[in-house]
Structure 1
Protein backbone atom coordinates (compact mmCIF):
# COMPACT_ATOMS: atom_id res chain seq x y z
CA UNK A 1 0.00 0.00 0.00
CA UNK A 2 1.34 3.41 -0.97
CA UNK A 3 2.32 5.76 1.85
CA UNK A 4 1.87 9.52 1.67
CA UNK A 5 3.88 12.20 3.42
CA UNK A 6 3.79 15.98 3.62
CA UNK A 7 6.61 18.35 4.53
CA UNK A 8 5.13 21.09 6.72
CA UNK A 9 6.93 24.42 6.56
CA UNK A 10 6.80 27.27 9.06
CA UNK A 11 8.95 30.38 9.24
CA UNK A 12 7.02 31.34 12.34
CA UNK A 13 4.00 29.87 14.08
CA UNK A 14 2.37 29.66 17.48
CA UNK A 15 2.23 26.27 19.11
CA UNK A 16 -1.52 26.14 18.60
CA UNK A 17 -1.28 27.03 14.91
CA UNK A 18 1.43 24.44 14.29
CA UNK A 19 -0.49 21.74 16.14
CA UNK A 20 -3.65 22.54 14.16
CA UNK A 21 -1.71 22.25 10.90
CA UNK A 22 -0.39 18.85 11.91
CA UNK A 23 -3.84 17.61 12.90
CA UNK A 24 -5.18 18.78 9.55
CA UNK A 25 -2.49 16.80 7.71
CA UNK A 26 -3.41 13.68 9.63
CA UNK A 27 -7.12 14.21 8.95
CA UNK A 28 -6.39 14.45 5.22
CA UNK A 29 -4.89 10.98 5.31
CA UNK A 30 -1.15 11.65 5.34
CA UNK A 31 0.82 8.80 6.86
CA UNK A 32 3.95 10.88 7.49
CA UNK A 33 4.25 14.46 8.71
CA UNK A 34 7.78 15.68 8.09
CA UNK A 35 9.68 18.80 9.10
CA UNK A 36 12.47 20.39 7.03
CA UNK A 37 15.86 21.73 8.06
CA UNK A 38 16.48 25.23 6.69
CA UNK A 39 17.96 28.24 8.47
CA UNK A 40 14.96 30.48 7.77
CA UNK A 41 12.47 27.99 9.26
CA UNK A 42 11.59 26.75 12.72
CA UNK A 43 14.07 24.21 14.09
CA UNK A 44 13.27 20.60 13.19
CA UNK A 45 13.29 18.70 16.48
CA UNK A 46 11.01 20.99 18.57
CA UNK A 47 8.50 21.10 15.72
CA UNK A 48 8.72 17.33 15.27
CA UNK A 49 7.99 16.77 18.95
CA UNK A 50 4.95 19.07 18.85
CA UNK A 51 3.73 17.36 15.68
CA UNK A 52 3.82 14.02 17.49
CA UNK A 53 2.01 15.45 20.51
CA UNK A 54 -0.71 16.99 18.32
CA UNK A 55 -1.42 13.83 16.31
CA UNK A 56 -2.31 10.23 17.04
CA UNK A 57 -1.06 7.86 14.36
CA UNK A 58 1.14 9.73 11.86
CA UNK A 59 4.81 8.92 11.57
CA UNK A 60 6.89 12.04 12.27
CA UNK A 61 9.82 12.55 9.95
CA UNK A 62 12.64 14.94 9.17
CA UNK A 63 12.76 15.74 5.46
CA UNK A 64 15.64 16.12 5.47
CA UNK A 65 18.28 17.11 8.00
CA UNK A 66 21.23 18.84 6.35
CA UNK A 67 24.22 16.70 7.30
CA UNK A 68 26.57 19.70 7.35
CA UNK A 69 24.46 21.37 10.05
CA UNK A 70 24.76 18.53 12.57
CA UNK A 71 27.54 16.99 14.66
CA UNK A 72 27.25 13.21 14.75
CA UNK A 73 27.42 12.86 18.54
CA UNK A 74 25.03 15.72 19.22
CA UNK A 75 22.59 14.53 16.58
CA UNK A 76 22.61 11.06 18.10
CA UNK A 77 21.51 12.66 21.38
CA UNK A 78 18.71 14.58 19.61
CA UNK A 79 17.50 11.45 17.87
CA UNK A 80 17.68 9.32 21.02
CA UNK A 81 15.72 11.91 22.99
CA UNK A 82 13.09 12.39 20.31
CA UNK A 83 12.61 8.65 19.84
CA UNK A 84 12.28 8.19 23.59
CA UNK A 85 9.55 10.83 23.74
CA UNK A 86 7.50 9.82 20.69
CA UNK A 87 8.24 6.10 20.51
CA UNK A 88 8.45 4.26 17.23
CA UNK A 89 6.81 7.07 15.25
CA UNK A 90 10.11 8.73 14.27
CA UNK A 91 11.50 8.52 10.71
CA UNK A 92 14.95 10.06 10.38
CA UNK A 93 15.61 11.73 7.04
CA UNK A 94 19.08 12.93 6.07
CA UNK A 95 20.51 14.71 3.05
CA UNK A 96 23.59 16.56 1.85
CA UNK A 97 21.92 19.99 1.61
CA UNK A 98 21.35 22.00 -1.53
CA UNK A 99 20.85 25.70 -0.69
CA UNK A 100 24.15 27.46 -1.35
CA UNK A 101 23.17 30.63 0.54
CA UNK A 102 22.55 28.65 3.73
CA UNK A 103 26.02 27.13 3.56
CA UNK A 104 27.48 30.60 3.07
CA UNK A 105 25.50 31.96 6.03
CA UNK A 106 26.75 29.11 8.22
CA UNK A 107 30.34 29.47 6.99
CA UNK A 108 30.36 25.99 5.49
CA UNK A 109 31.80 24.77 2.17
CA UNK A 110 29.23 24.07 -0.55
CA UNK A 111 31.49 21.76 -2.55
CA UNK A 112 29.51 18.65 -3.64
CA UNK A 113 32.23 16.21 -2.57
CA UNK A 114 32.49 17.80 0.87
CA UNK A 115 28.73 17.75 1.37
CA UNK A 116 28.50 14.08 0.38
CA UNK A 117 31.41 13.21 2.66
CA UNK A 118 29.71 14.95 5.59
CA UNK A 119 26.58 12.89 4.97
CA UNK A 120 28.58 9.66 4.91
CA UNK A 121 30.34 10.63 8.14
CA UNK A 122 27.03 11.45 9.79
CA UNK A 123 25.48 8.11 8.83
CA UNK A 124 28.55 6.30 10.20
CA UNK A 125 28.37 8.32 13.41
CA UNK A 126 24.70 7.62 13.92
CA UNK A 127 25.21 3.90 13.36
CA UNK A 128 27.86 3.97 16.08
CA UNK A 129 25.95 6.28 18.42
CA UNK A 130 22.51 4.70 18.07
CA UNK A 131 23.37 1.10 17.30
CA UNK A 132 20.30 -1.10 17.13
CA UNK A 133 18.12 1.75 18.48
CA UNK A 134 18.19 3.72 15.25
CA UNK A 135 14.80 4.72 13.81
CA UNK A 136 14.03 4.03 10.13
CA UNK A 137 16.53 5.98 8.05
CA UNK A 138 15.63 7.89 4.89
CA UNK A 139 18.37 9.36 2.72
CA UNK A 140 17.39 11.71 -0.08
CA UNK A 141 19.32 13.03 -3.05
CA UNK A 142 20.14 12.66 -6.72
CA UNK A 143 23.88 12.23 -7.31
CA UNK A 144 25.78 8.95 -7.49
CA UNK A 145 27.56 9.20 -4.15
CA UNK A 146 24.47 10.07 -2.10
CA UNK A 147 22.24 7.53 -3.84
CA UNK A 148 24.89 4.81 -3.48
CA UNK A 149 25.04 5.53 0.25
CA UNK A 150 21.25 5.47 0.46
CA UNK A 151 21.05 2.19 -1.45
CA UNK A 152 23.48 0.49 0.90
CA UNK A 153 22.57 2.01 4.26
CA UNK A 154 19.07 3.50 4.29
CA UNK A 155 15.69 1.90 4.89
CA UNK A 156 14.13 4.42 2.51
CA UNK A 157 15.72 6.00 -0.56
CA UNK A 158 14.15 9.32 -1.49
CA UNK A 159 14.50 10.64 -5.02
CA UNK A 160 14.38 14.40 -5.46
CA UNK A 161 14.91 14.21 -9.21
CA UNK A 162 16.46 17.65 -8.97
CA UNK A 163 20.24 18.12 -9.09
CA UNK A 164 21.81 21.48 -8.34
CA UNK A 165 22.13 23.46 -11.57
CA UNK A 166 24.80 26.19 -11.45
CA UNK A 167 23.31 27.94 -14.50
CA UNK A 168 20.11 28.52 -12.54
CA UNK A 169 21.72 28.89 -9.12
CA UNK A 170 19.29 26.30 -7.75
CA UNK A 171 18.00 22.79 -8.32
CA UNK A 172 15.96 21.83 -11.40
CA UNK A 173 13.98 18.74 -12.28
CA UNK A 174 15.26 16.05 -14.63
CA UNK A 175 13.18 14.06 -17.12
CA UNK A 176 11.29 10.91 -16.21
CA UNK A 177 13.78 8.82 -18.18
CA UNK A 178 16.71 10.29 -16.28
CA UNK A 179 14.98 9.70 -12.96
CA UNK A 180 14.32 6.11 -13.96
CA UNK A 181 18.05 5.72 -14.58
CA UNK A 182 18.64 6.99 -11.04
CA UNK A 183 16.21 4.38 -9.70
CA UNK A 184 17.99 1.64 -11.64
CA UNK A 185 21.33 2.88 -10.28
CA UNK A 186 20.00 2.49 -6.73
CA UNK A 187 18.62 -0.97 -7.39
CA UNK A 188 21.98 -2.09 -8.72
CA UNK A 189 23.87 -0.52 -5.81
CA UNK A 190 21.46 -2.04 -3.29
CA UNK A 191 22.13 -5.59 -4.44
CA UNK A 192 19.92 -7.92 -2.43
CA UNK A 193 18.68 -5.09 -0.21
CA UNK A 194 15.19 -3.78 -1.01
CA UNK A 195 14.84 -0.30 0.47
CA UNK A 196 11.51 1.47 0.20
CA UNK A 197 11.49 4.01 -2.66
CA UNK A 198 10.16 7.51 -2.04
CA UNK A 199 9.71 10.44 -4.41
CA UNK A 200 9.45 14.11 -3.47
CA UNK A 201 6.88 15.98 -5.55
CA UNK A 202 7.57 19.68 -5.98
CA UNK A 203 4.02 20.80 -6.70
CA UNK A 204 0.42 19.73 -7.29
CA UNK A 205 -2.02 21.62 -9.52
CA UNK A 206 -5.66 20.60 -9.65
CA UNK A 207 -6.95 21.35 -13.13
CA UNK A 208 -8.90 19.86 -16.04
CA UNK A 209 -6.20 21.08 -18.42
CA UNK A 210 -3.08 19.08 -17.58
CA UNK A 211 -0.89 20.80 -20.16
CA UNK A 212 -1.73 24.27 -18.85
CA UNK A 213 -1.18 22.95 -15.34
CA UNK A 214 2.35 21.76 -15.97
CA UNK A 215 3.19 24.88 -17.96
CA UNK A 216 2.44 26.87 -14.80
CA UNK A 217 5.15 24.80 -13.08
CA UNK A 218 7.85 25.39 -15.67
CA UNK A 219 10.00 27.24 -13.11
CA UNK A 220 10.88 23.85 -11.62
CA UNK A 221 12.30 22.57 -14.93
CA UNK A 222 13.01 25.43 -17.36
CA UNK A 223 14.59 23.20 -20.02
CA UNK A 224 11.93 20.47 -20.17
CA UNK A 225 9.22 20.36 -22.82
CA UNK A 226 5.53 20.28 -21.95
CA UNK A 227 5.44 16.58 -22.84
CA UNK A 228 8.37 15.90 -20.52
CA UNK A 229 6.74 17.89 -17.72
CA UNK A 230 3.58 15.80 -18.08
CA UNK A 231 5.62 12.63 -17.60
CA UNK A 232 7.84 13.50 -14.63
CA UNK A 233 6.83 11.88 -11.33
CA UNK A 234 8.00 14.95 -9.41
CA UNK A 235 5.07 17.15 -10.55
CA UNK A 236 1.35 16.46 -10.42
CA UNK A 237 -1.27 18.16 -12.58
CA UNK A 238 -4.83 17.15 -13.42
CA UNK A 239 -8.03 16.22 -11.66
CA UNK A 240 -7.71 14.25 -8.41
CA UNK A 241 -8.60 11.04 -10.24
CA UNK A 242 -6.06 11.74 -13.01
CA UNK A 243 -3.33 12.43 -10.48
CA UNK A 244 -4.27 9.26 -8.58
CA UNK A 245 -3.76 7.33 -11.80
CA UNK A 246 -0.41 9.09 -12.27
CA UNK A 247 0.62 7.95 -8.78
CA UNK A 248 -0.32 4.37 -9.69
CA UNK A 249 1.66 4.56 -12.96
CA UNK A 250 4.66 5.97 -11.11
CA UNK A 251 4.59 3.09 -8.65
CA UNK A 252 4.47 0.60 -11.49
CA UNK A 253 7.21 2.24 -13.55
CA UNK A 254 9.58 3.52 -10.85
CA UNK A 255 8.65 1.52 -7.77
CA UNK A 256 7.63 4.59 -5.78
CA UNK A 257 5.48 3.22 -2.97
CA UNK A 258 5.94 6.32 -0.81
CA UNK A 259 5.06 9.80 -2.11
CA UNK A 260 5.91 13.04 -0.30
CA UNK A 261 4.45 16.43 -1.20
CA UNK A 262 5.29 19.92 -0.04
CA UNK A 263 3.27 22.05 2.33
CA UNK A 264 1.62 24.12 -0.40
CA UNK A 265 0.16 20.96 -1.95
CA UNK A 266 -1.22 19.51 1.27
CA UNK A 267 -4.90 20.32 0.70
CA UNK A 268 -4.98 19.60 -3.03
CA UNK A 269 -3.08 16.34 -2.80
CA UNK A 270 -5.34 15.37 0.08
CA UNK A 271 -8.13 15.11 -2.51
CA UNK A 272 -5.92 12.71 -4.47
CA UNK A 273 -5.37 10.51 -1.41
CA UNK A 274 -9.14 10.01 -1.23
CA UNK A 275 -8.93 8.22 -4.60
CA UNK A 276 -6.08 5.98 -3.50
CA UNK A 277 -7.41 4.56 -0.22
Structure 2
Protein backbone atom coordinates (compact mmCIF):
# COMPACT_ATOMS: atom_id res chain seq x y z
CA UNK A 1 0.00 0.00 0.00
CA UNK A 2 1.32 3.44 -0.93
CA UNK A 3 2.32 5.69 1.96
CA UNK A 4 2.04 9.47 2.00
CA UNK A 5 4.09 11.92 4.02
CA UNK A 6 4.21 15.67 4.49
CA UNK A 7 7.11 17.84 5.68
CA UNK A 8 5.77 20.49 8.06
CA UNK A 9 7.85 23.66 7.92
CA UNK A 10 7.69 26.50 10.41
CA UNK A 11 10.04 29.30 11.41
CA UNK A 12 7.93 30.00 14.47
CA UNK A 13 4.80 28.46 15.91
CA UNK A 14 2.95 28.31 19.17
CA UNK A 15 2.30 24.94 20.74
CA UNK A 16 -1.39 25.08 19.86
CA UNK A 17 -0.67 26.08 16.26
CA UNK A 18 1.78 23.22 15.82
CA UNK A 19 -0.54 20.65 17.35
CA UNK A 20 -3.39 21.83 15.10
CA UNK A 21 -1.28 21.50 11.95
CA UNK A 22 -0.21 17.99 12.87
CA UNK A 23 -3.80 16.95 13.55
CA UNK A 24 -4.85 18.42 10.21
CA UNK A 25 -2.17 16.44 8.39
CA UNK A 26 -3.36 13.20 9.95
CA UNK A 27 -7.00 14.05 9.19
CA UNK A 28 -6.09 14.54 5.52
CA UNK A 29 -4.77 11.00 5.39
CA UNK A 30 -1.01 11.45 5.67
CA UNK A 31 0.77 8.41 7.05
CA UNK A 32 3.98 10.25 7.94
CA UNK A 33 4.42 13.71 9.46
CA UNK A 34 8.01 14.82 9.00
CA UNK A 35 10.03 17.69 10.41
CA UNK A 36 13.00 19.31 8.61
CA UNK A 37 16.42 20.32 9.89
CA UNK A 38 17.35 23.88 8.94
CA UNK A 39 18.83 26.58 11.15
CA UNK A 40 16.00 29.04 10.50
CA UNK A 41 13.26 26.56 11.41
CA UNK A 42 11.96 24.97 14.58
CA UNK A 43 14.25 22.34 16.10
CA UNK A 44 13.39 18.87 14.80
CA UNK A 45 13.22 16.64 17.86
CA UNK A 46 10.98 18.78 20.13
CA UNK A 47 8.57 19.31 17.25
CA UNK A 48 8.65 15.60 16.44
CA UNK A 49 7.63 14.74 19.99
CA UNK A 50 4.78 17.26 19.86
CA UNK A 51 3.65 15.86 16.51
CA UNK A 52 3.35 12.43 18.09
CA UNK A 53 1.43 13.91 21.02
CA UNK A 54 -1.03 15.56 18.63
CA UNK A 55 -1.73 12.48 16.53
CA UNK A 56 -2.78 8.88 16.97
CA UNK A 57 -1.49 6.74 14.13
CA UNK A 58 0.96 8.81 12.02
CA UNK A 59 4.61 7.88 11.83
CA UNK A 60 6.79 10.83 12.85
CA UNK A 61 9.84 11.38 10.66
CA UNK A 62 12.79 13.68 10.24
CA UNK A 63 13.15 14.80 6.64
CA UNK A 64 16.03 15.00 6.76
CA UNK A 65 18.59 15.62 9.47
CA UNK A 66 21.76 17.28 8.18
CA UNK A 67 24.49 14.79 9.09
CA UNK A 68 27.06 17.56 9.50
CA UNK A 69 24.97 19.17 12.26
CA UNK A 70 24.88 16.09 14.52
CA UNK A 71 27.60 14.27 16.41
CA UNK A 72 26.93 10.52 16.65
CA UNK A 73 26.74 10.21 20.45
CA UNK A 74 24.51 13.26 20.79
CA UNK A 75 22.21 12.16 17.98
CA UNK A 76 22.00 8.68 19.48
CA UNK A 77 20.85 10.29 22.74
CA UNK A 78 18.18 12.32 20.90
CA UNK A 79 16.96 9.27 18.99
CA UNK A 80 16.83 7.10 22.09
CA UNK A 81 15.00 9.81 24.05
CA UNK A 82 12.49 10.38 21.28
CA UNK A 83 11.83 6.66 20.85
CA UNK A 84 11.29 6.42 24.59
CA UNK A 85 8.72 9.20 24.46
CA UNK A 86 6.80 8.27 21.29
CA UNK A 87 7.47 4.55 20.97
CA UNK A 88 8.07 2.89 17.62
CA UNK A 89 6.52 5.71 15.60
CA UNK A 90 9.85 7.37 14.77
CA UNK A 91 11.33 7.27 11.26
CA UNK A 92 14.87 8.65 11.12
CA UNK A 93 15.73 10.52 7.93
CA UNK A 94 19.33 11.57 7.25
CA UNK A 95 21.02 13.50 4.45
CA UNK A 96 24.13 15.48 3.64
CA UNK A 97 22.56 18.96 3.79
CA UNK A 98 22.55 21.29 0.81
CA UNK A 99 22.19 24.91 1.99
CA UNK A 100 25.68 26.41 1.77
CA UNK A 101 24.80 29.44 3.91
CA UNK A 102 23.79 27.18 6.80
CA UNK A 103 27.15 25.43 6.72
CA UNK A 104 28.87 28.81 6.86
CA UNK A 105 26.68 29.87 9.80
CA UNK A 106 27.55 26.65 11.63
CA UNK A 107 31.27 27.01 10.86
CA UNK A 108 31.35 23.88 8.71
CA UNK A 109 32.90 23.25 5.27
CA UNK A 110 30.53 22.79 2.35
CA UNK A 111 32.75 20.44 0.35
CA UNK A 112 30.60 17.70 -1.29
CA UNK A 113 33.04 14.89 -0.50
CA UNK A 114 33.29 15.91 3.15
CA UNK A 115 29.51 16.04 3.51
CA UNK A 116 29.08 12.51 2.15
CA UNK A 117 31.91 11.26 4.37
CA UNK A 118 30.18 12.71 7.44
CA UNK A 119 26.90 11.06 6.51
CA UNK A 120 28.62 7.70 5.98
CA UNK A 121 30.43 7.92 9.30
CA UNK A 122 27.28 8.98 11.13
CA UNK A 123 25.25 6.06 9.77
CA UNK A 124 27.89 3.55 10.86
CA UNK A 125 28.48 4.99 14.31
CA UNK A 126 24.80 5.52 15.00
CA UNK A 127 24.04 1.90 14.20
CA UNK A 128 26.67 0.80 16.73
CA UNK A 129 25.57 3.28 19.41
CA UNK A 130 21.94 2.22 19.07
CA UNK A 131 23.00 -1.44 19.16
CA UNK A 132 21.27 -2.08 15.81
CA UNK A 133 17.92 -1.28 17.46
CA UNK A 134 17.28 2.13 16.01
CA UNK A 135 14.19 3.27 14.15
CA UNK A 136 13.70 2.67 10.41
CA UNK A 137 16.37 4.64 8.58
CA UNK A 138 15.65 6.84 5.56
CA UNK A 139 18.52 8.30 3.58
CA UNK A 140 17.75 10.93 0.98
CA UNK A 141 19.82 12.37 -1.84
CA UNK A 142 20.72 12.16 -5.51
CA UNK A 143 24.39 11.39 -6.10
CA UNK A 144 26.01 7.98 -6.51
CA UNK A 145 27.70 7.87 -3.10
CA UNK A 146 24.65 8.95 -1.09
CA UNK A 147 22.24 6.68 -2.94
CA UNK A 148 24.74 3.82 -2.79
CA UNK A 149 24.96 4.25 0.99
CA UNK A 150 21.17 4.37 1.20
CA UNK A 151 20.86 1.20 -0.87
CA UNK A 152 23.25 -0.64 1.45
CA UNK A 153 22.19 0.68 4.85
CA UNK A 154 18.69 2.19 4.84
CA UNK A 155 15.25 0.66 5.00
CA UNK A 156 13.97 3.59 2.92
CA UNK A 157 15.74 5.31 0.03
CA UNK A 158 14.45 8.80 -0.71
CA UNK A 159 15.00 10.36 -4.12
CA UNK A 160 15.12 14.14 -4.21
CA UNK A 161 15.65 14.20 -7.96
CA UNK A 162 17.36 17.54 -7.44
CA UNK A 163 21.17 17.77 -7.36
CA UNK A 164 22.90 20.97 -6.30
CA UNK A 165 23.51 23.12 -9.38
CA UNK A 166 26.31 25.64 -8.99
CA UNK A 167 25.08 27.69 -11.97
CA UNK A 168 21.81 28.34 -10.11
CA UNK A 169 23.29 28.42 -6.62
CA UNK A 170 20.67 25.90 -5.50
CA UNK A 171 19.19 22.51 -6.31
CA UNK A 172 17.24 21.90 -9.53
CA UNK A 173 15.08 18.99 -10.70
CA UNK A 174 16.29 16.47 -13.25
CA UNK A 175 14.23 14.91 -16.02
CA UNK A 176 12.33 11.66 -15.51
CA UNK A 177 14.87 9.60 -17.44
CA UNK A 178 17.73 10.82 -15.29
CA UNK A 179 15.78 10.04 -12.12
CA UNK A 180 14.96 6.57 -13.43
CA UNK A 181 18.68 5.93 -13.83
CA UNK A 182 19.12 6.90 -10.15
CA UNK A 183 16.49 4.32 -9.20
CA UNK A 184 18.23 1.68 -11.30
CA UNK A 185 21.51 2.48 -9.56
CA UNK A 186 19.91 1.93 -6.15
CA UNK A 187 18.29 -1.31 -7.24
CA UNK A 188 21.59 -2.61 -8.57
CA UNK A 189 23.49 -1.80 -5.38
CA UNK A 190 20.74 -3.12 -3.10
CA UNK A 191 20.37 -6.22 -5.22
CA UNK A 192 24.01 -7.13 -4.64
CA UNK A 193 23.11 -7.65 -0.97
CA UNK A 194 19.68 -9.13 -1.57
CA UNK A 195 17.96 -6.00 -0.20
CA UNK A 196 14.68 -4.39 -1.29
CA UNK A 197 14.42 -0.96 0.37
CA UNK A 198 11.22 1.03 0.22
CA UNK A 199 11.50 3.77 -2.41
CA UNK A 200 10.39 7.30 -1.52
CA UNK A 201 10.22 10.40 -3.69
CA UNK A 202 10.13 14.00 -2.49
CA UNK A 203 7.69 16.11 -4.50
CA UNK A 204 8.51 19.80 -4.81
CA UNK A 205 5.04 21.08 -5.69
CA UNK A 206 1.40 20.19 -6.34
CA UNK A 207 -0.76 22.34 -8.62
CA UNK A 208 -4.46 21.56 -8.96
CA UNK A 209 -5.62 22.72 -12.38
CA UNK A 210 -7.62 21.68 -15.41
CA UNK A 211 -4.81 22.88 -17.69
CA UNK A 212 -1.73 20.80 -16.99
CA UNK A 213 0.54 22.60 -19.44
CA UNK A 214 -0.25 26.02 -18.01
CA UNK A 215 0.07 24.68 -14.48
CA UNK A 216 3.46 23.11 -15.02
CA UNK A 217 4.82 26.27 -16.66
CA UNK A 218 4.34 28.01 -13.32
CA UNK A 219 6.82 25.54 -11.82
CA UNK A 220 9.68 26.20 -14.24
CA UNK A 221 11.72 27.74 -11.42
CA UNK A 222 12.27 24.23 -10.05
CA UNK A 223 13.93 23.08 -13.28
CA UNK A 224 14.93 25.99 -15.53
CA UNK A 225 16.51 23.79 -18.19
CA UNK A 226 13.61 21.34 -18.65
CA UNK A 227 10.98 21.70 -21.37
CA UNK A 228 7.26 21.80 -20.64
CA UNK A 229 6.95 18.19 -21.82
CA UNK A 230 9.77 17.13 -19.51
CA UNK A 231 8.23 18.98 -16.58
CA UNK A 232 4.94 17.16 -17.17
CA UNK A 233 6.74 13.81 -16.94
CA UNK A 234 8.90 14.29 -13.83
CA UNK A 235 7.64 12.38 -10.76
CA UNK A 236 8.74 15.22 -8.47
CA UNK A 237 5.95 17.58 -9.61
CA UNK A 238 2.20 16.88 -9.47
CA UNK A 239 -0.01 18.90 -11.83
CA UNK A 240 -3.64 18.39 -12.87
CA UNK A 241 -6.99 17.51 -11.37
CA UNK A 242 -6.86 15.33 -8.23
CA UNK A 243 -7.90 12.23 -10.18
CA UNK A 244 -5.23 12.90 -12.81
CA UNK A 245 -2.54 13.29 -10.19
CA UNK A 246 -3.72 10.09 -8.50
CA UNK A 247 -3.18 8.32 -11.82
CA UNK A 248 0.27 9.94 -12.06
CA UNK A 249 1.09 8.51 -8.64
CA UNK A 250 0.04 5.04 -9.81
CA UNK A 251 2.08 5.33 -12.99
CA UNK A 252 5.12 6.53 -11.04
CA UNK A 253 4.89 3.53 -8.74
CA UNK A 254 4.78 1.21 -11.74
CA UNK A 255 7.64 2.91 -13.59
CA UNK A 256 9.94 3.97 -10.75
CA UNK A 257 8.80 1.83 -7.82
CA UNK A 258 7.85 4.84 -5.68
CA UNK A 259 5.49 3.46 -3.04
CA UNK A 260 6.06 6.29 -0.56
CA UNK A 261 5.33 9.89 -1.58
CA UNK A 262 6.39 12.92 0.46
CA UNK A 263 5.08 16.41 -0.27
CA UNK A 264 6.04 19.78 1.09
CA UNK A 265 3.99 21.73 3.61
CA UNK A 266 2.65 24.12 0.96
CA UNK A 267 1.04 21.20 -0.90
CA UNK A 268 -0.54 19.54 2.15
CA UNK A 269 -4.14 20.60 1.51
CA UNK A 270 -4.09 20.15 -2.28
CA UNK A 271 -2.37 16.78 -2.21
CA UNK A 272 -4.80 15.73 0.50
CA UNK A 273 -7.47 15.84 -2.24
CA UNK A 274 -5.33 13.42 -4.26
CA UNK A 275 -5.02 11.01 -1.33
CA UNK A 276 -8.82 10.72 -1.32
CA UNK A 277 -8.57 9.09 -4.77
CA UNK A 278 -5.90 6.64 -3.68
CA UNK A 279 -7.42 5.13 -0.55
TM-score by length of 1: 1.00
Correspondence for 1:267 among 262, 266, 269: 269
CA distance in 2, matches of 1:109, 1:48: 28
The yes-or-no answer on 1:93 pairing with 2:82 is: no
Distance 1:10 1:106 in 2: 20
- Which residue is equivalent to 1:59? 59
Gaps of 5+ in 2: none
1:197 and 2:176 are equivalent in the alignment: no
Q: Counterpart in 2 of 1:206?
A: 208
Residue 158 of structure 1 and its aligned partner are, at CA, apart by: 0.0
Return 5+ residue gaps in structure 1 as ranges.
none
- Stretches of 4+ aligned residues off by more than 4 angstroms: none
1:6-155 superposed matches below 5 A: 6-155=6-155
What is the CA-CA distance between 1:125 and the residue it aligns to? 1.1
* CA distance in structure 1 between the partners assigned to 2:68 and 2:216 by the alignment: 34
- What per-residue deviation string (whole Å, max 9, x for no partner) do you get for residues 65-103 of structure 1? 000000000000000000011001000000000011111
Cα drift, residue 178 of structure 1: 0.1
- For 1:100 and 1:232, locate their aligned partners in 2 and report how far apart those are by CA, in whole Å: 26
Superposed CA deviations along residues 206-230 of structure 1, whole A, max 9, x for unmatched, are: 0000011110000000000000000
2:221 alignment partner in structure 1: 219
SS at match of 1:138: strand
C-alpha separation between the residues in 1 aligned to 2:163 and 2:111? 14
What is the Cα deviation at residue 131 of structure 1? 1.6
Task: Tell me the SS of whatever aligns to 2:130.
Answer: helix
- Rounded to whole Å, the distance in 1 between the matches of 2:125 and 2:45 is 19
Cα deviation, 1:29-76, whole Å, max 9, x if unaligned, reads 000000000000000000000000000000000000000000000000
Measured in 2, the distance between the counterparts of 1:269 and 1:131 equals 38
Separation in 2 of the partners of 1:51 and 1:186? 31
The within-5 A match list for 1:167-186 is 167-186=167-186
Task: For 1:215 and 1:195, locate their aligned partners in 2 and report how far apart those are by CA, in whole Å.
Answer: 34
- What RMSD in Å do the two structures reach over aligned CA positions? 0.4
Normalising by the residue count of structure 2, what TM-score does the alignment of the two structures yield? 0.99
SS of the aligned residue for 1:257 comes to strand
* Aligned match for 1:230, one of 227, 232, 236: 232
Q: Report the Cα offset of residue 124 of structure 1.
A: 0.7
- Determine the structure 1 residue equivalent to 2:245: 243
Q: Give 1:132 deviation, angstroms.
A: 2.9
Q: Report the count of equivalent residues.
A: 277
Q: C-alpha offsets along residues 166-189 of structure 1, whole Å, 9 cap, x if unaligned?
A: 000000000000000000000001
CA deviation after TM superposition for structure 1 residue 232, in Å: 0.1
